[in-house]
Structure 1
Amino acid sequence: MIFGLQGKTLADFATLVMERATQTIIILFLIAHFGAAQNATKTGAEEFPVGVILDLGTLVGKVTGTSIQMALEDFYAVHRSYNTRIALHIRDSRGNNIQAASAALDLLDNHNVQVIIGPQKSSQASFVLDLGNTTQVPIISFTATSPSLYSGGLPYFVRATLNDSAQVNSIASLIRAYGWRQVVPVYEDTDYGRGIIPYLVDALQIIDVRVPYRSVITPSARSGQITQELYKLMTMQTRVFIVHMSSDLASKLFIKAKEVGMMKKGFVWIMTDGITNLIDSLNPSVVEAMNGALGIKFYVPKSEELDSFIMRWNRKIQLDSPNDPSLKPSIFGLWGYDTIWAVAQAVEKIGFNNGTLFQKPAAPRTSTSLDTLQTSAYGSELLNNILQNKFSGLSGYFDLSDRQLQVSTFQIINVVGKGWREIGFWTVENGISRKLNHGKFMTRYAQSVSDLNNAIWPGKSTEIPRGWEIPVSGKKLQVGVHRSMYEQFMTNEKDPITGTTKASGFSVDIFEEAVKRLPYALPYEYIAFDNNEDRGRAGYNDFVYQVYLKVMRA
């Protein structure tokens, strides 16, 4: 019985829901679960309890929620004769770590779930993973990407997505191709945001690129705080920024960056895949603010199955969420879809019968307690089957044998207008290149911008930014100059209007040419250390000694 609809059909239930308020994702899941339960009863199939923990109010939660529902329907439409049926128990963590852990306890203790799909965030996963180890229930997340989560001490954690560290070499290759020598990471102050930084810095050090500053922004930062941090970045020489944060925080960042003038000519913005993978579902005003940015995006090979899924997904979202037309299927939704298929196939293989699910004594359940949790009767076998199941899914080749997806191909995109365009690809074997040719690159170990399509940079510029500018404010390098006996080598004079010292000569030309070749801005000013009477050797020796003493003259 659901909501007192004893004896009602699925059609009756759906009609009643439509007569009420606008459908929510939670209700949609309940409908799907009710339908699956009816179908299981008709076919005599055994129900296998599986928990799902998502942040249903977020962009990722909405997209993946719809994809999971469709995966369940599609799988059993293809495998009608299977003796098992997954019964999903959906929980909303509401973006809270404690709520996610509480939901996991409830699913394990009160619903005997044998697999938990989720939670959504890396910080939430940190709270839940120990429960999976304790109960030997596989925890499968297709959204928790922090490198810190993958450990030999977490045998029941499976990452059905890429580790964030998988993309750092593609970012380093991109930076090397354009010749930039300094970059500033801009990331959120969470497990997800911090997790990638050590790997990113290491990858940049290998190609001799410096990280002079790290910009950390809290997810709860107000507009004024974001603006203040951006103004701080503007005072620095570096103009190349790598943004690694949630799509919500990134949206605020780019809107503010445009407001303060940091989305104009000379700036470089590179987004990690956590943002770029969702770009199709971002608000058009946010995409417009991102114009000129580059992004790393997981590459999904085209297929007829994928095209069919996208068409059906779009139709479904129009019916289920008519007030949210910007939602588009993303790679997270595809990973969620493929995860359901992997779990459903593994469930059928273990020969499940609705007997004892957990090895624990029967006891009345008056509360969720760690003391009542025992080991799963199917967890170990189920985990092994999930890890051994390899197939071509909607997201590409789906292989969890190493307890996480492996690096395949990244797409490099350029945000232009209301969307984006492709400028190249990256793989471990071949580096970056402009095109794919039957899965292989046209060139090998590409290292220059000639191996990428032309990008349109911030400010609609087609000129590749040099990566540095003279900062808005900051100390100038004081360069001492002294007149030589031979003016062709060194001479100086004071500008009668500005009062600044002007220097010229062969030595000055060499110095200024060296400054131009630096990969960063070096503001400087000349300081005269002489007068009309001290052009000889004694005057020059005194000049050198004054520089040694760090004595400056006006």
Structure 2
Amino acid sequence: MNKGVEMKTLPIFVVICVLVAASVDAAVQKEKVNLGVRLDSTSYSGKIAKTAIKLAMDDMNNQSQVLNAVDLLGNQVVALIEAHMSEAEPFISHLGDAAHVPVFSLSDSSPAVSNQRFPFLVRMAHDDRIQMKAIASLVKHYGWRSISFLHSDHDFSCGAMSSFRDALKNLTSEIVYTTMIPSNAQKQTIREELYKLKAIDSRVFVVHTPFGLGMNLFVEAKEMGMMESGYVWMTTQGFASLWDYALNASTMTSMQGLLGLKTHTPNSEELNDFTERWERQFRLDNPNMKNFELNTFGLLAYDTVVMVARAIGKIKENASLSFLQHSTTTKMKVFQQGGKLLQEIFLTNSTGLSGLVRFNEGEMYGCSYEIVNVVGKSY
């Protein structure tokens, strides 16, 4: 019997010392600045981001060291990259506000967590409202009338349901049933929820959960005969972007026919070259992993490091970086040019490996998606 997917959360903080070039009196001067990174090196997403960030560090001749959360902000860090979604993210964002240090979130897409609530938060992930509109377009195309929405107890999942409901407002379709499944739900709890779904009239399900919970959900749905013809299952971008992790695994048989929404990444020569570098490095970093593929999460991690380094370089053309002791804690220092860095970031308008990197009112601008379907051992 399939034992499902074990879910672990062991985030660590890393300081990256980035060499930033600034033009001063027609000469190029380089100086190291510190970027903080928080990631879970045991998770598939964390491994993807870690390798991508390592390559960004190599491109800029960097080095790193491990620190804890508060000491991180006492180490004259100019930016924090949040590469691990967890309940601690609002706390990290509060720390960023207090220290005037921009916090770059690679995965948080909930409308509830935004730049308006946390002024120094920069979300590199696109707002859930965008992907929910894309799913609503698919619902309209196929004429599905009754939809069930499954989500976890994470804050990011709960906000997506409201966004999906809003996206369906002008259609003849509606959400007829919603269910919240605990992120640490065991087999019996998942089965109880699936029995409820099986009893209702709807046969179209949208799943917005963390990867581990989603995999366990489909294993149980398969055993209960709910992945057969007549049922439609669709996952959101966060889950679909990690399908490669399940290829050739025993759980792949439980995903047959599954639809997923994935962020479209424009092809380019730079992307192809980087992908080859990333794959070589990932094999070295994770010699025991056979199934892997660079995804949007890794590309955003790389683009974020490059974007911050360029923005710091612009600031240093006219001013030196400085820090003052925080008024209430001796362990934290306040980045005096944090506000200026935030302005430079929001003025970014460039093409990165992930595609267009541009902001509109503090949010990543636009996005296009592709629909993928699991067939056999591929999609």
**TM class by smaller structure:** 0.7 to 0.9
Alpha-carbon contact 1:276-1:295 (below 8 Å) kept: yes
C-alpha displacement at 1:280, in angstroms?
1.9
Are 1:301 and 2:301 an aligned pair? no
Equivalent-residue separation in structure 2 for 1:355 and 1:301 (angstroms): 37
Alpha-carbon contact 2:241-2:296 (below 8 Å) kept: yes
Q: What is the total number of aligned residue pairs between the two structures?
A: 360
Change (3 A) 1:104 1:165: farther
Of 106, 124, 136, the match for 2:100: 136
Instruction: Map 1:39-118 to 2 at 5 A.
Output: 45-74=30-59, 76=60, 88-90=64-66, 103-109=68-74, 111-118=75-82
Instruction: Give the structure 2 partner of residue 416 of structure 1.
Output: 375
Instruction: Give the structure 2 partner of residue 331 of structure 1.
Output: 296
Amino acid aligned to 1:260 = M
Amino acid aligned to 1:180 = W
Equivalent-residue separation in structure 2 for 1:207 and 1:64 (angstroms): 38
TM-score computed with the length of structure 2 as normaliser: 0.88
Amino acid aligned to 1:281 = Y
Bigger RCO of structures 1 and 2 (CA < 8 A, at least 6 apart): 2
Of 222, 226, 234, the match for 1:262: 226
Identity %: 34
C-alpha displacement at 1:153, in angstroms?
3.6
Equivalent-residue separation in structure 2 for 1:61 and 1:399 (angstroms): 24
Equivalent-residue separation in structure 2 for 1:267 and 1:289 (angstroms): 13
Instruction: Give the structure 1 partner of residue 185 of structure 2.
Output: 221
Alpha-carbon contact 1:283-1:326 (below 8 Å) kept: yes
Alpha-carbon contact 1:133-1:154 (below 8 Å) kept: yes
C-alpha displacement at 1:283, in angstroms?
4.5
Aligned residue for 1:127, secondary structure, equals helix
C-alpha displacement at 1:386, in angstroms?
1.6
5+ residue gaps in structure 2? Answer: 1-10, 20-27
Aligned residue for 1:114, secondary structure, equals strand
Equivalent-residue separation in structure 2 for 1:235 and 1:144 (angstroms): 33
Aligned residue for 1:148, secondary structure, equals coil
Instruction: Map 1:180-219 to 2 at 5 A.
Output: 180-219=144-183
Aligned residue for 1:117, secondary structure, equals strand
Change (3 A) 1:390 1:353: closer
RMSD: 2.6
Alpha-carbon contact 2:12-2:39 (below 8 Å) kept: no
Of 277, 283, 287, the match for 1:322: 287
C-alpha displacement at 1:126, in angstroms?
1.1
Equivalent-residue separation in structure 2 for 1:241 and 1:318 (angstroms): 36
C-alpha displacement at 1:253, in angstroms?
0.8
Instruction: Give the structure 1 partner of residue 213 of structure 2.
Output: 249
Equivalent-residue separation in structure 2 for 1:283 and 1:323 (angstroms): 15
TM-score computed with the length of structure 1 as normaliser: 0.61
Alpha-carbon contact 1:359-1:374 (below 8 Å) kept: yes
Equivalent-residue separation in structure 2 for 1:104 and 1:411 (angstroms): 37
C-alpha displacement at 1:319, in angstroms?
1.5
Aligned residue for 1:206, secondary structure, equals coil
Instruction: Map 1:471-490 to 2 at 5 A.
Output: none
Instruction: Give the structure 1 partner of residue 5 of structure 2.
Output: none
Instruction: Give the structure 2 partner of residue 121 of structure 1.
Output: 85
Instruction: Give the structure 1 partner of residue 128 of structure 2.
Output: 164
Equivalent-residue separation in structure 2 for 1:337 and 1:307 (angstroms): 14
Amino acid aligned to 2:232 = V
More strand by share: 2
Equivalent-residue separation in structure 1 for 2:99 and 2:361 (angstroms): 21
Instruction: Give the structure 2 partner of residue 148 of structure 1.
Output: 112
C-alpha displacement at 1:353, in angstroms?
10
Equivalent-residue separation in structure 1 for 2:144 and 2:311 (angstroms): 48
C-alpha displacement at 1:256, in angstroms?
1.1
Equivalent-residue separation in structure 2 for 1:120 and 1:147 (angstroms): 18
Equivalent-residue separation in structure 1 for 2:208 and 2:94 (angstroms): 27
5+ residue gaps in structure 1? Answer: 1-24, 38-42, 77-84, 92-102, 364-368, 421-554
Instruction: Give the structure 1 partner of residue 310 of structure 2.
Output: 345
